[in-house]
Amino acid sequence: MTPDEAQVRERLRAVEDPELDEDVATLGLIDDVRVEDGVVTVAVAFNAPYSGDEKAMGDRIREEVEALGLEPDVTVSLSWEDSDSPLPDVRNVVPVASGKGGVGKTTVATNLATALAETGARVGLLDADIYGPNVPGMIGIEAKPGLSEDGKIVPPEADGIKLMSMAFLSEDDTDPAMLRGPMIDKLLSELIEETDWGHLDYLLVDLPPGTGDEQLTLLQSVPVTGAVVVTTPEDIALEDVRKGIRMFHDRGTPVLGVVENMSAFRCPSCGDEHELYGSGGGADVAAEFDVPLLAEIPMDPEIRSGSDADKPVTVLQGTPAADRFFDLRDRVTDRVGAVNRAERAGLDPTDPNTPTVPSADPDGNSGKGDAGGGGCGDGGTGSAGGGDCGD
Ligand SMILES: Nc1ncnc2c1ncn2[C@@H]1O[C@H](COP(=O)(O)OP(=O)(O)OP(=O)(O)O)[C@@H](O)[C@H]1O
């Protein structure tokens, strides 16, 4: 006799979530199961396109369905969509922040954006660094934004990334560095909401350094998935990064993790790495706040010349520096997935490493949305090129 939906759900208890230490059915991540003509359609509540963990879980679900003698069709459900959000078509907003200036925040944001775009993810980058909006230069975008028929700003695009920057504003006699308080709030909100981003898997935001009003404006105006916090290893930077992490946690915003930049000097001739400013500071701060250390990126002339030549180093494949950023991308997508799934499961998304008994109904009847939305290969939005669930 063909197994029914309840039996399939029971079988899916064998699929463990690697971050939340619980199975996907118990966590309430199976939105729907349908059995029809030997095909099982499973709609999963995953929302981190190109996350290796979510791809692996998709593969495991397929294996379990096949073991029941049925053909699997794993799709991403649309239950994540939030029509009340000011950015309903943007799946994940990820600010890149730093406690102090000059630590390499923009370098990390631009390289992370190009590394994400390299996978095929739909990526936007908002350069909200009011005091030094330098992303267009670093990423090599010369085109200016356009205007759509319905009056929205159309961001220029390069290397698969849509970019909006405070730098574009200086064209109309407005020096962003002269702006203060409410004007900054207004401009930032406009840049975010009046831009026609289209469907995005990830919108990265290069925040101004520090822990002031501009950062808070952003946190208030859009639903932030989680922040990447960048620091250098020396003590003074670490003190500032602590403030940054506290700011996010005080507002209930998850911190995806810490990036220690310029953690050592990579000698271009011998390839060895030499610690100039000490090491392990980023790891210590990450441990102190119980968030992951996402990457240790050495000071590398390739990274520097990449920014100077308007090409993030991740556009060049196969260099040691590019590989660090590809690893960072993989960690970030997995963490985005973990934070989203923790929230979905009723766990504390600011602390997904500490699972508690989930409040979700173990039968998966979360009551949120229905299944059958876009397949795992299309990011659940119906258009091409999005999420990857192991197809
Ligand atoms: N790992 C690295 N190796 C070599 N050079 C780097 C590295 N990270 C950043 N740089 C260089 O350091 C300079 C400052 O970096 P970046 O502009 O990214 O810092 P920032 O934190 O965004 O600064 P700001 O606070 O001014 O916005 C740039 O010239 C960049 O190319």
DSSP 53-105: HHHHHHHHHHHHHHHTT-EEEEEE-STT--TTSSSTTB--EEEEEESSTTSSH
Q: Which of 288, 316, 344 is a domain's end point?
A: 316
Mean pLDDT within 49-60 = 96
100 is in an annotated binding site: yes
pLDDT digits (tens, 9 = 90+) for 122-156: 999 998 877 777 777 777 777 888 888 888 889 99
Ligand 1 contact via 217 beta carbon (within 6 Å): no
The sign of the dihedral angle between the CA atoms of 19, 22, 25, 28 is negative
Give the whole-angstrom CA distance, residue 358 versus residue 245.
Answer: 26
- Which of 99-103, 245-249, 255-259, 299-303 is most confident? 255-259
Classify 113 as helix, strand or coil: helix
101 is in an annotated binding site: yes
For residue 329, being part of any structural domain is answered with no
For residues 250 and 369, membership in a common domain is answered with no
pLDDT digits (tens, 9 = 90+) for 12-23: 999 999 999 999
380 is in an annotated binding site: no
| Count of structural domains, the chain | 2
For residues 32 and 145, membership in a common domain is answered with no
Residue type, 65: V
Q: Return the CATH number at 222.
A: 3.40.50.300
Q: Which of 271, 294, 316 is a domain's end point?
A: 316
For residues 98 and 70, membership in a common domain is answered with no
Best residue for ligand 1 mutational test, from 106, 131, 296 (most atoms within 8 Å of Cβ): 106
Question: For position 5, what pLDDT does the model report?
Answer: 92
Q: Return the CATH number at 369.
A: 3.30.300.130
Question: For position 281, what pLDDT does the model report?
Answer: 80
pTM: 0.85
Ligand 1 contact via 304 beta carbon (within 6 Å): yes
Q: Which of 299, 316, 333 is a domain's end point?
A: 316
Cβ–Cβ < 8 Å for 327, 111? no
For residue 343, being part of any structural domain is answered with no
Q: How confident is the model at residue 382 (pLDDT cuts 50, 70, 90)?
A: very low
For residues 101 and 211, membership in a common domain is answered with yes
Best residue for ligand 1 mutational test, from 125, 304, 305, 311 (most atoms within 8 Å of Cβ): 304
β-pairing, 255-266 vs 293-299, is parallel
Mean pLDDT within 98-117 = 91
For residues 248 and 368, membership in a common domain is answered with no
For residues 367 and 311, membership in a common domain is answered with no
Structural domain for 3, as ranges: 1-79+353-391
For residue 85, being part of any structural domain is answered with no
Q: 248-260 as b/e, with b when 16 or more CB fall inside 10 Å? A: bbeeebbbbbbbb
